[in-house]
Amino acid sequence: MHIDPMVRSAAAATSQVKRKSNQERADLLREIANEIEGLGDELLETASAESNLPLVRFQGERARTCRQLRMFAATIEEGSYEEPTIDTAQAERKPLPKPDLRSLLIPVGPIVVFGASNFPLAYSTAGGDTASALAAGCAVICKAHPAHPRTSEMVAGAIQRALKKCNFPPAFFSHWVARDFDEVKALVQHPLVKGVGFTGSLSGGMAIHKYAQERQEPIPVFAEMGSVNPVILLPNALVDKAGHWAETYASAITMGVGQFCTNPGLLFAIEGEALQHFVSLLSAHLLNIRDYKMLHPGIHDNFVKRKEMVLGTKGVKAMAVVSASGEHTGTPVLALVDAEDFRNHATLHEEVFGPFSMVVACKDRDDLMSCLDVLQGQLTSTLIATPEDDEDVKSLLPILNEKAGRIIYNGVPTGVEVCDAMVHGGPFPATTDARFTAVGNKAIRRWLRPVAFQNCPQNLLPAILQDKNPTAAWRNINGQLTKADV
Amino acid sequence: MHIDPMVRSAAAATSQVKRKSNQERADLLREIANEIEGLGDELLETASAESNLPLVRFQGERARTCRQLRMFAATIEEGSYEEPTIDTAQAERKPLPKPDLRSLLIPVGPIVVFGASNFPLAYSTAGGDTASALAAGCAVICKAHPAHPRTSEMVAGAIQRALKKCNFPPAFFSHWVARDFDEVKALVQHPLVKGVGFTGSLSGGMAIHKYAQERQEPIPVFAEMGSVNPVILLPNALVDKAGHWAETYASAITMGVGQFCTNPGLLFAIEGEALQHFVSLLSAHLLNIRDYKMLHPGIHDNFVKRKEMVLGTKGVKAMAVVSASGEHTGTPVLALVDAEDFRNHATLHEEVFGPFSMVVACKDRDDLMSCLDVLQGQLTSTLIATPEDDEDVKSLLPILNEKAGRIIYNGVPTGVEVCDAMVHGGPFPATTDARFTAVGNKAIRRWLRPVAFQNCPQNLLPAILQDKNPTAAWRNINGQLTKADV
């Protein structure tokens, strides 16, 4: 499809949908979920065939995708996400009367979504970016991911059927197959495109970001580009529960062939017998985990290249390397390095996308702190500790706060819960805008901007800003949150 | 001061201030307001001498500046601005237990502030950008504006005394005099700078924005770059109240020598007798308004240049031109053009900063709508109407929504109320990020990012995320807003 007419239609659809109610958009999101479920096992089988991931994984991913859509439906139905804010007039105020001011959030305009290869359902065609943008009232142009074209097409078909059923303009969602990068550039740079959502690699995200920067009009670009997700194993936890954590982490490192943006890629600990014991347990577990085919040959090639680059770096030792059982499989790898060598080689600070993790053995607390200093922004940071480690944790938390969007205590970073408090984001290069999350209800805020109405008569105001509160949404009236009428 | 040590100190100060409570930061903001008031008449006289604006104007501007500081103090004391969000664990959930997740907003890091020449107090050294960033917990590096260096230094001194009195690190606020643009560039591109606030011209804002784009790490840049602020005079209003609106607009166009970013620069109406009558009344009022010295010779030169460019454009007629009474005065000008000539000349769509406005005479409603299409993003749009114009207003509102951050009904765009519902922002080129406001409580959101804590023990959580609600702030607990404990 030609880019210009597609974007113009998306902009027109955004304007048309502004005349529909939140309830109508909520119904659409639920219908999309129904249609996706209606695709049945064929969708799961297609996604599995295209991604080399097991069928059971797609039962979970489909459930998550549909749950996200229904979550946003409930959110927009309720209405508080529009942040309705009312400051009533004070005609007698001196020296000047205070006007009546009322504001709410409105959609920014058409959004281009680039889905991720590693989540063909939950972070792709009808994934979090699409769901949050449609919920916001923004038309979506979704670039089909070349790693799962049939899955993407099936999901796009479900969305298009839902649009028809709910009487929405078909251009409120477009499914677009790019022929080359020039087309992607032309799309991102189209004047009527008002935002971009991207999930994928650092190089891919930065290319999109650069296209956007070349525009005359700056637009929001939220690119989630992965992360090394450092884990800090504190001394008492290593002594007390080495077995538990070795088993837990062997599983977290290899789950989904390690193809998660929250895969734990770096394990920091203080050297000594306890760490040696933990490393031997973790290695043993990893040696017992079989390898599986990766998402696509490109991801596999990159995994092999990055892994070899890291293993070839001065001071890095391979602790557990499983030999490949077949073509394009991701064979789990555990590496070990000391803190000084880690700090000195920037290639060790970057993600190896796949079933890979590296233990960084530090001399002492200061040595460990110096390692954290060189880390870039992260989606997550994890602390493995016991209450006896509290003092260490207290000194680490302010540092981890500055590095990551989510801090996990005694757990694994994999598994991104869809809820209000989730933050799936973080300082660059984890994302291009740390002020937002890509997962959970608040992901919608990326695609909204405020508009205020000054001294506007009741009959001309949007319903949610009129004196009578139509949906009992929470509103800020003269500085107080309330569900009451004005 | 050298840039690198200054930014490093600002980053260190941001970290140190994270250990202080919201109450301590609120006390600091109030102390800054007290210190500014303590500068007495000398501040007002200095600002007046440096800006050519009358003393009485600075009584109002000082009051506004101090009110903003105290407003942010109350906001951070209360705590809801941190958006505390709690999702409690569900250990029994199938197939996987739900973790406990708790998130809040934290400061992004040091912010560079470029104040405006036209508001030496309220939008400059201790203006909205500085106040909101300090409230957020971000250290501020403020570039002194060369048009009011002594005013800026006095205000900076007040801030520094307040920092000392409240036992804050001095580097939490730095006052910086740039020697050249290379230094400005180096500052904006310093890796430890995490955000920029700018108020000023389009060319200035875009230069800063470009510096920021050249960084490796993208950072939030909120540049407020002014606007033409279109006003639409609807037919019935022109008939009913031509005299009232002519007088009101003569005053709005020339107040502060027209040096407001919300100055009404374009007046759209449908041609005919009523419009002719309005134009003659407005011209007569303008001819009676004396001219005053503009802020500085550069602003005056630019005003003359832009005004002459517009008046020299095909089809533009000068309706009221007052002859200059002295050097560097801003002489009020009213111009008239028809819709077609307006649409055909892009130079007419851009701001003339000063006491200038242009009436665009349209043939009919469609002709008027076509003019709105060519307008770029705006801070404000204004509708002058009577209830008989409601149908026109209803068809105009969706268009104005897409163009502007604030819509005024039967008023003037000048005068930006400081309150929760204010939106002082808007689509590009009014600002570089329409998702935020520069004025009002919500301006603080520009300098905050979310962080989540997963399964974190109570004693290690920030106080506002613990089960017990320490300040009775509004918190989102399992999807419900409440002031209760967990």
Q: What is the pLDDT of residues B350-406, one digit of tens each?
A: 999 999 999 999 999 999 999 999 999 999 999 999 999 999 999 999 999 999 999
Which residue of chain B is at minimal alpha-carbon distance from A412? B454
In a domain, A424, yes or no: no
From chain B, the residues in CB contact with A481 under 8 A are 80, 474, 481
Q: Give the minimum alpha-carbon distance from A154 to chain B in angstroms, rounded to a whole number.
A: 26
B64 and B32 within one domain: yes
B211 and B234 within one domain: no
Pairing of strands B85-87, B101-107: antiparallel
Phi first, then psi: what are they for A9, rounded to 5°? -65, -40
A283 and A234 within one domain: yes
Query: How much is the pTM?
Result: 0.97
Sequence-separated (6 or more) residues with CB below 8 Å from residue A5:
none
In a domain, B420, yes or no: no
The DSSP letter of residue A109 is S
In a domain, B486, yes or no: no
- The answer to whether the CB atoms of A394 and B454 lie below 8 A apart is no
A365 and A330 within one domain: yes
Confidence of residue A1 (pLDDT cuts 50, 70, 90): low
CA angle, B450 as apex, B446 and B454 as ends, to 5°? 175
3-state secondary structure of A102: strand
Q: How far is CA A212 from the centre of its chain?
A: 19
A383 and A238 within one domain: yes
> Does pLDDT of A240 surpass 90?
no
Instruction: Match 């079989």 to its residue by tokens.
Output: A290
Query: Both tokens of residue B115?
Result: 């104040």
Q: Give the minimum alpha-carbon distance from B132 to chain A in angstroms, rounded to a whole number.
A: 15
In a domain, B78, yes or no: yes
The DSSP letter of residue A461 is S
From chain B, the residues in CB contact with A218 under 8 A are 209, 428, 432-433
* The pLDDT value given to residue B1: 60
- The answer to whether the CB atoms of A398 and B18 lie below 8 A apart is yes
Nearest CA to A95 among B57, B420, B255, B54?
B57
As a whole number, mean pLDDT of residues A334-350 equals 97
Q: What is the pLDDT of residues A448-486, one digit of tens each?
A: 999 999 999 999 999 999 999 988 999 999 999 999 999
From chain A, the residues in CB contact with B96 under 8 A are 415
* The pLDDT value given to residue B320: 78
B305 and B241 within one domain: yes
A190 and A99 within one domain: yes
* The pLDDT value given to residue A247: 97
Which residue of chain B is at minimal alpha-carbon distance from A102? B421
A282 and A202 within one domain: no
In a domain, B362, yes or no: yes
| Minimal Cβ distance to A220: which of B95, B435, B457 | B435
Pairing of strands B195-199, B173-176: unpaired
Rounded Cα distance between A19 and A393, Å, is: 51
Inter-axis angle of helices A273-287 and A235-254, to 10 degrees?
20
* Burial class (CB within 10 angstroms; exposed 0-12, middle 13-18, buried 19+) of B394: exposed
From chain A, the residues in CB contact with B393 under 8 A are 460
- Which CATH number does the domain housing residue B17 bear? 3.40.605.10
Which residue of chain B is at minimal alpha-carbon distance from A442? B450
From chain B, the residues in CB contact with A8 under 8 A are none
Q: What is the pLDDT of residues A155-192, one digit of tens each?
A: 999 999 999 999 999 999 999 999 999 999 999 999 99
Which residue of chain A is at minimal alpha-carbon distance from B413? A454
Total of domains in chain B: 2
- The answer to whether the CB atoms of B15 and A474 lie below 8 A apart is no
Residue where a domain stops, chosen among B409, B444, B467: B409
| Minimal Cβ distance to B423: which of A103, A377, A390 | A103
Which residue of chain A is at minimal alpha-carbon distance from B428? A217
- Which CATH number does the domain housing residue B391 bear? 3.40.309.10
Which residues of B are marked as active site?
A: 224, 261
Which residues of A are marked as active site?
A: 224, 261
- The answer to whether the CB atoms of A96 and B415 lie below 8 A apart is yes
* The pLDDT value given to residue B365: 95
Most A CBs within 10 Å, among B419, B465, B478, to test the A interface? B419
Nearest CA to A231 among A435, A437, A371?
A371
A241 and A221 within one domain: no
Confidence of residue A262 (pLDDT cuts 50, 70, 90): very high
Q: Give the minimum alpha-carbon distance from A328 to chain B in angstroms, rounded to a whole number.
A: 30
Predicted complex ipTM: 0.97
What is the domain extent for residue B276? 230-409
Residues with pLDDT less than 70, chain B: 1
The DSSP letter of residue B414 is -
Q: Letter for the amino acid at A432?
A: T
In a domain, B418, yes or no: no
As a whole number, mean pLDDT of residues A302-331 equals 91
- The answer to whether the CB atoms of A450 and B423 lie below 8 A apart is yes
Q: Give the minimum alpha-carbon distance from B456 to chain A in angstroms, rounded to a whole number.
A: 5
CA angle, A121 as apex, A262 and A212 as ends, to 5°? 70
In a domain, A419, yes or no: no
From chain B, the residues in CB contact with A434 under 8 A are 108, 449
Strands (E), A193-316: 195-199, 221-224, 230-233, 266-270, 292-293
Q: Give the minimum alpha-carbon distance from A324 to chain B in angstroms, rounded to a whole number.
A: 31
A240 and A219 within one domain: no
Q: Give the minimum alpha-carbon distance from B154 to chain A in angstroms, rounded to a whole number.
A: 26
Rounded Cα distance between A439 and A443, Å, is: 6
| Minimal Cβ distance to A85: which of B213, B218, B420 | B420
Mean pLDDT, chain A, rounded, equals 96
Rounded Cα distance between A165 and A107, Å, is: 23
Rounded Cα distance between B423 and A367, Å, is: 48
Q: Rounded to whole angstroms, what are the CA distances from A444 to A16, A108, A152, B202? A: 19, 11, 22, 29
B194 and B54 within one domain: yes
Nearest CA to A158 among A30, A306, A55?
A30
From chain B, the residues in CB contact with A394 under 8 A are 460
In a domain, B426, yes or no: no
B198 and B80 within one domain: yes
